[in-house]
Amino acid sequence: MHIRQLKVERRLSIAAAQLAPEGQVKNKPKVKAKGKTKTKAKAKDKTKESLKSPESLKSPESLKIPESLKSPESLKNPNSPKSPKAKVVAAWSQSHTVPRVIYPHGKPRVLAVKEAAKPPRSQSGAKDSSQHKVLQQTIHSNLECFLFLQKPEEAERFLLLYHSSPAKRRLLDVNAYNIVMRCWARQGNLKHVNRLFSMLEATGLQPSLDSYAAALECMGRVPPPAKAVHRCVQQLKHNGFHVDELFQKCLFEEDEKEMVLRAVRIVQPEYQLPPPPSPQTCTSSLLQDFYSKEKMVSYPKLDFSVQELQERFQQQLEMELDNTVTIESVESTKPLTPQAGKARELLATLRSQWHDSLLQALQKSKRSMARLTTGSGYNTLYPYLCLLPDEEYVAIMMQILNSLSPQGESLAVLARELGNKIYDRHVTQRKLRSHQLEKVQEIYQGYIQLLARDSQPHQYLPREYWEKLVADAGFGPSLNLRDCSWPYVLLMRLGMHMLELLVRAAKVPRNILNPRLEPKLIPVLYHIYSFRSSGQVGLIKPHPIFSQIMSDAAEATLTFNSSAIPMLCPPVPWTSPNFGAFVLNDTKLMRFVDGAVQHQLLLEQCPPVNLHPVLDALNQLGNCAWKINQPVLDIIISIFNDKGNERLDIPPPVSEAPRPPTVPGGSAGSKTQKHELLLYKKKVAEMHSLRMDALYKLSIANYVRDKVFWFPHNMDFRGRTYPCPPYFNHLGNDVTRAILLFAEGRPLGPKGLDWLKIHLVNLTGLKKKNALQERLEYANEIMEEILDSADRPLTGRRWWMDTDEPWQALACCMEIAKASRCPDPAAYVSHFPIHQDGSCNGLQHYAALGRDLIGAISVNLMPCSVPQDVYSVVAQQVEEFRKKDAEQGVRIAQVLQGFISRKVVKQTVMTVVYGVTRYGGRLQMEKRLKEIDGFPEEYLWEASQYLVKQVFNSIKEMFSATRDIQNWLTESAKLIAQSGRTVEWVTPLGLPIVQPYYRSKPTVLNCGMQHLSVKTFYTNQKPDTVKQKNAFPPNFIHSLDSTHMMLTALHCLRQGLTFVSVHDCYWTHALTVDVMNQICRQQFVALHSERILQDLSKFMLETYCSPGRETRALWQKKLMEQLSNVPETGEFNLKKVMDSTYFFS
């Protein structure tokens, strides 16, 4: 397979020159006239000469200094002839450069969107453009490094590497010049800013609003004659901008805004900052009531005073400023043995040595890079190794070393982690340097007034109130930093460099545990290759000596990034795709695959008002306060420290692994023995992974056991929401959910105790087919078992252990016991979350979209006295098919007699709606059949193949409208992808979505240890047709279920309910279950009353089939026909959902 190679090191100075002529040869028509060629060569030489010395830059013949920006000296001699080629250069520049989107006013973005609308390029063209993007992004981030390091001379020298070569100059866009202008503007050096304007115009690029902001900032710092400022302002207006736009659209750091204003007031003394734009209101028909000012209610208060919230904010800020948090491990309660004490002392000594070795290795590598920068080459990584103090880089490497598992980790994963840690710390430093943090602190103090119980009520949403406070603040830095994201390829290269230093520098004496061995220094980490399903993978493994010392030390602490810990104060509200969640930690609104850029571009192009519902829903989920269920946590920790319990989903330590198979000494062993040994190693690795995951979750829970905390949320590209802290949150397993309670308590009310009991029975999994009343009666019958479980969880009859979700069941037993023993159960204040689950939610959305009556009945959209179980219905139908085939002598149908059950078909039925293929379905069936004792192993493949066919046939029969919609979505996506475009749509709440599946060829980084294959994603790459078409139906349905959840969250807020969700499982207090159920149904009906498929068809026709063309390509006609042919709907009455008890239950 042809793999494109990209050598990042020295690429920016050398390889760009080699790449550019290739691009030009492909893109430029041949020039026949020799005279023209000579003229071009002369012009190039002239440009080169003019850039050699500062003197030549003062008045070059080929460059025109804008009148508005001339320094007083240059104003004396204004006769600089205009370059005759300016227009040609501008035209060439516009047709050949793909500007990186930065500016809020979005001019370059229009070009980017139009570019995507063209027919797909040839693969070589896409390859060149993708490489062009990587190089251009790297130029920007390098220049930003010099800006941060306050090295304008270095920044300009780096820019000149490109500007002075016509071949390389095509990689520069206006933003590259702007960054260097800002470097000089900070020093008040107008002469250099003038020079950069001249260079900018010589390339044919137009100055942007940010260019003028830099020039005016410079004039504000060292005021020139008013005439120069006047000309600058006139030129700004001549280019189609307005002075007000400087303050409305530009992002400022430190005192830049004040300096620009000072310069403007030199020529307009009475100038006042433009008023903030009046807030826009979302006009979605689904949220007219929610955003109606007449129906606005006060935002619910938290049970904290202003002072308490200020203290919590300060704690959170200190934690984020430290970047990492070291907490006690739950294993630390074990007594310290002499062996462990000795191992800890040894480890401390070694770490001190490694720290010094790493520091020396880092400084040595920086010195060698610094020498290279002064020579002909240029090392791309050098500026990135100067952004933080050397000690911080060493601390990051030590953190990785200390957290490495004995089984090792993929080289790519470690490189990414190292690169990201450096980037995150740099962003923190930028926020501190730009004074953005000071402004966040100031605004958060005001924001507390919205939430604290002892403040006046406010009829604002968190986002609205924050935006109001920002508008009122006026001066100071912008809260959104300018985009300085580092290209993924560069991030990986930086991580690889740190990893290479770590492997080279960290050594341990070979005889440290065995004095009989020679005292030779050996590496602590070593690099090996392993074969995985995806091919050969490079791994970094710790030496067994290091693993043994770590194991013996059994350290009492764990270190996490501060973003892995729940927040100790309410999250900063999301106000844009770039701002929200943590106080300092950089968080993206939308999660996406590393290296993908399309989602962020789409969000930034989207009108801000269209994102308000999504932002407000995320803020609502994030503002739910939590606390720990301490009695349950203590029981779980006691079992965790007592060898665990696999039955209760508490992983045992690796020491409990079965003994390894013995291979006869001296022999290589048989194939069977080797296979057994391989399985043993795999089992040990799995046990270690599961144990560490549980250790992290329980230790974090133990750390916040006496605290109230919050989970800031973001979303994936389909709009599904997730808590940002990755280890411990309510999306976790049964153990994690059992130890979480709402911080806010509410009385149970008249029906609350009944809901607690029904919830318990739901958790047991015993009465799924029974009516709610029957579940309640069953709970009352087993009250003795419930109370015994609550009082003696580990010493009693332990009924709770035999349920589907044992830990949540135990927690619920304890809550029921406390409530039922209360003199007035209705007055008992409960913090316990009650869950209401959608009934095969994906099929519910399909049945509603197609108004499919049979499907609607099967998934509880229709009212019914008992819940309908679609899995049992499918199992029955498959059994009918099997009986017929068995009677006709089909052998496999006869073998399957007695083995077809709800459990066997459930996973496949559930995932059919999310696009599982027959191949995937067969694997699911095989797994379920393997679990059945007595099923003949030799028939596994044939039986699973037969069953998946019958399940698909059954669903096709039962859900005819569902299959029609699924097929329409699949075929539409296939045709769109074949036309060279990715599938995009907008959810009913206005969230823009693009599927990130491309046929991207990896970039290969040539690193010291190994070549590393890195995928990059750009809009000009060819889409992966198979992934685009297979993923569209499930992704579209996921975007609808997230829309339904967000609508429910927002309307629950208006009713004063506590609400959180785990996708299609909604949580609230026992008191408010009935109200939430009503809102949930209302919003489902409202959502599906919209013309969802018709709106999708209309959007796609506008996006992919340009209207107004008389001649259309054949593929476009076919696509138009497909998109226009929206599936017909059935006769199901959607309003019936309002009366369906088991729709969510």
Nearest by Cα to 280 from 608, 42, 711, 60 = 608
d(CA 854, CA 957): 10
CA neighbours closer than 13 Å in the CB half-sphere of residue 524 = 31
* Number of neighbours of residue 227 by Cβ within 10 angstroms: 14
Strands (E), 819-862: 829-830, 834-837
483 is catalytic: no
Given a contact cutoff of 8 angstroms between Cβ atoms, the answer to whether 743 and 626 are in contact is yes
Structure token pair of residue 406: 């004995």
d(CA 1017, CA 994): 12
DSSP 15: I
DSSP 939: G
Q: Which one is catalytic: 390, 552, 693, 837?
A: 837
For β-strands 834-837 and 525-532, DSSP reports them as unpaired
d(CA 502, CA 507): 9
Please state at what angle helix 209-221 crosses helix 190-202, rounded to 10 degrees.
160
Structure token pair of residue 272: 């006042």
1139 is catalytic: no
Cα angle 157-158-162, degrees, rounded to a multiple of 5: 105
DSSP for 955-1017, please give it. Answer: HHHH-HHHHHHHHHHHHHHHHHHHTT---EEE-TTS-EEE---B-PPPEEEE-SS-EEEE---
Residue 768, SS3?
Answer: coil
Q: Which helix (H) or strand (E) holds 912?
A: helix 902-912
Residue whose entry in the numeric block shows the structure tokens 């696009």: 915
SS (H, E, C) 491-553: HHHHHHHHHHHHHHHCEEECCCCCCCCCCCEEECEEEEEEEECCEEEEEEEECHHHHHHHHHH
d(CA 745, CA 752): 12
d(CA 915, CA 921): 10
Residue whose entry in the numeric block shows the structure tokens 């596994």: 940
Residue 914, SS3?
Answer: coil
Q: Which one is catalytic: 173, 210, 1041, 1064?
A: 1064
754 is catalytic: no
d(CA 499, CA 408): 13
d(CA 1113, CA 1119): 10
Query: Which residues, other chains included, contact 871 with Cβ-Cβ below 8 Å and sequence gap of 6+?
Result: 840, 902, 905, 906, 909, 910
Output the CA–CA distances (angstroms, integers) from residue 1074 to 182, 218, 1085, 1143, in the order listed.
58, 62, 17, 13
Structure token pair of residue 254: 């430190």
d(CA 115, CA 109): 10
For β-strands 834-837 and 1065-1068, DSSP reports them as antiparallel
Given a contact cutoff of 8 angstroms between Cβ atoms, the answer to whether 867 and 769 are in contact is yes
Given a contact cutoff of 8 angstroms between Cβ atoms, the answer to whether 1096 and 1037 are in contact is no
Given a contact cutoff of 8 angstroms between Cβ atoms, the answer to whether 212 and 178 are in contact is no
Q: Which one is catalytic: 421, 541, 906, 1029?
A: 906
Output the CA–CA distances (angstroms, integers) from residue 796 to 780, 783, 788, 799, in the order listed.
19, 14, 6, 8
Cα angle 1138-1141-1145, degrees, rounded to a multiple of 5: 120
Catalytic residues: 837, 906, 1064
